[in-house]
Amino acid sequence: MSQTPFYSLRGISKAFPGVKALDEVQLDLYPGEVMALIGENGAGKSTLVKTMTGIYQPDSGELKLAGESIHLATPDAARKLGITAIHQETVLFDELSVTENIFTGHHLTRGPLKMLDWRAMRSQCVKILADIEAQIDPDILLKHLSIGQRHMVAIARALSFDAKVVILDEPTAALSIYETQELYKIVEKLKSAGCAIMFISHKFDEVFAIADRYTVFRDGCFVDQGKIIDITQAQLVTMMVGRTVDQVYPKENIPLGSNVLKVANFSHPTEFNDLSFELRAGEILGFYGLVGAGRTELMQAIYGVSKITQGSIEVEGVSVIIHSPADAIKAGIVYVPEERQSQGVVLDLPIDQNITLPQLSKINKNGLLNQHSEYALADEYASRLRVKAPNWHEPVGNLSGGNQQKVVIAKWLATQPKVIILDEPTKGIDISSKAAVHSFMSELVKQGLAVIMVSSELPEVMGMSDRIIVMSEGLQVCEFNRADFNAEKIVSAASGGLNEKTIH
């Protein structure tokens, strides 16, 4: 094993409006070794990957490849230097064949007319696929392949560039166990070929199975690095979470009221199975899990967006049937979606019209718009949420992400719901808006609302929830009461490390 890093980063910083995504971080990749990058969501891992592959330019700091300082102006520049990343959601072309996918952007040509040499490309494709032992027909259209097979194609594509640095960004998130094993084999092959590999995963068993070294990030800062044999899982989790979470969050103790929501035996054909829980007035119930654990799908099913195979819902003891968001709203359940811009707001409509949208027929009983009462309602709730805007006629698209989120919450509060589901409520918004959303959650439960919060940020879930349900691969793994919150236990439960059911 070599002791000089092949690709190294020093003092890299990258800021976005309102957020410092990376703060003076460092990282070293060694040839023939796998380095695991560990950190929570929001620790800056994705930003780092994008900086390493030329998608983002760092504000400051230095990238060195094989001892030489490099500047990556474009992703293409990175690719030419042999730096390639395989993302969780692979960017490939559904309607093209495997061979075409692999060679798009660097087709092989022959002759003076630069004719495409499909024969050469195909034979090279067969060779690469054989190298990684992927049994995929090079002529099949990509859309016919499974997600796992697509990953293989993405890896084959990376190899066709003569990659020296391979970055795997949560490659196993969508893979089956068998496919994951296949991936391990490929990683071993890449290692023996002398590639420097960076591996990002939330699953500790994978990290310990294939990584040689680790680097831990937290909140955009470098925390520690070292060899994987010198460390334990518990130590990694402590470094990852690494702070006391209670102080930051405006959590208040509120006496719980009666049962508001009862969800029983909820099952979906593919995303989740047999989930049951209850929710009381004044309670914040956190749902924690990795990306792809089925939390969002569960919430959307409760809200009537996706269909379930079985299950029932009771609101305040009365059984309700929910087939559409309209039914859910009528039953008093509202949903603040994770995808704010595509599902939460209508960007071109002004704030007041966004807020009144779900209850137009309630405000305007005869079907005619009454702009006075509409504006009054919007004013009441937008002011309560402290939406920052010149006035409520401003199109929502002109607001910052945090203020857009406040508009979505205002919209739902105006319907006077019983249960509000917040799906990643603080994703991608600035720190002050985050704090505003959190303190508002406390205010809501004080008024007797029941809140469900889906979050991938552990401090947030631990800081705000009265109870946490951990989901993993579509199953309810375990449940923690506030008194028993333990970062290590929650994280390992979400990573599939804890299989005991329901610890109280």
Least separation in angstroms between residue 89's CB and another protein is: 19
How far apart CA 136 and CA 38 sit, in angstroms, is 32
**Quick one: which segment of 93-101, 147-155, 162-170, 348-356 binds another protein (CB under 8 A)?**
348-356
Query: Per CB under 8 A, does 247 bind another protein?
Result: no
Site for another protein in 349-378 (CB under 8 A): 349-350, 353, 357-358, 360-361, 364, 367-369, 371-372, 375-376
β-sheet bridge partners, residue 275: 266
Query: Per CB under 8 A, does 121 bind another protein?
Result: no
Amino acid at 282: G
Those residues whose C-beta lies under 8 Å from the C-beta of residue 68, and which sit 6 or more positions away, are none
Those residues whose C-beta lies under 8 Å from the C-beta of residue 155, and which sit 6 or more positions away, are 86, 132, 134, 183, 186
112, 342, 483, 500: which one binds another protein (CB under 8 A) = 342
How far apart CA 360 and CA 350 sit, in angstroms, is 15
Query: Per CB under 8 A, does 431 bind another protein?
Result: no
**Quick one: which segment of 144-152, 207-215, 277-285, 334-342 binds another protein (CB under 8 A)?**
334-342
Least separation in angstroms between residue 359's CB and another protein is: 8
141, 209, 346, 503: which one binds another protein (CB under 8 A) = 346
Kindly tell me the burial class for residue 133, based on how many C-beta atoms sit within 10 Å of its own C-beta (0-12, 13-18, 19 or more): exposed
Say how many residues touch another protein, by CB under 8 A.
Answer: 46
How far apart CA 213 and CA 34 sit, in angstroms, is 6
Query: Per CB under 8 A, does 502 bind another protein?
Result: no
Those residues whose C-beta lies under 8 Å from the C-beta of residue 311, and which sit 6 or more positions away, are 263, 264, 265, 266, 267, 275, 301
How far apart CA 19 and CA 269 sit, in angstroms, is 39
Least separation in angstroms between residue 333's CB and another protein is: 11
Least separation in angstroms between residue 404's CB and another protein is: 11
Query: Per CB under 8 A, does 323 bind another protein?
Result: no
Query: Per CB under 8 A, does 432 bind another protein?
Result: yes
Least separation in angstroms between residue 335's CB and another protein is: 7
Query: Per CB under 8 A, does 307 bind another protein?
Result: no
Residue among 317 and 367 whose Cβ is closer to another protein: 367
Least separation in angstroms between residue 297's CB and another protein is: 15
Query: Per CB under 8 A, does 390 bind another protein?
Result: yes
Least separation in angstroms between residue 342's CB and another protein is: 6
Query: Per CB under 8 A, does 110 bind another protein?
Result: no
Residue among 331 and 462 whose Cβ is closer to another protein: 331
Least separation in angstroms between residue 123's CB and another protein is: 40
Rounded alpha-carbon distances, angstroms, from residue 71 to 54, 161, 202, 206, 212: 8, 19, 30, 32, 27
Strands (E), 256-364: 259-267, 275-280, 284-289, 310-315, 318-320, 333-336
**Quick one: which segment of 219-227, 233-241, 254-262, 345-353 binds another protein (CB under 8 A)?**
345-353
Rounded alpha-carbon distances, angstroms, from residue 3 to 64, 200, 223: 15, 22, 21
Residue among 1 and 321 whose Cβ is closer to another protein: 321
Residue 290's nearest CA partner among 456, 44, 501, 453 is: 456
Residue among 147 and 431 whose Cβ is closer to another protein: 431
How far apart CA 232 and CA 38 sit, in angstroms, is 13
Rounded alpha-carbon distances, angstroms, from residue 358 to 79, 351, 386, 411, 416: 48, 13, 20, 8, 11
Query: Per CB under 8 A, does 324 bind another protein?
Result: yes
How far apart CA 301 and CA 481 sit, in angstroms, is 25
Query: Per CB under 8 A, does 255 bind another protein?
Result: no
Residues near another protein, by CB under 8 A: 303, 305, 324-326, 328-329, 335, 337, 342-350, 353, 357-358, 360-361, 364, 367-369, 371-372, 375-376, 379, 382-383, 386-393, 395, 411, 432, 436
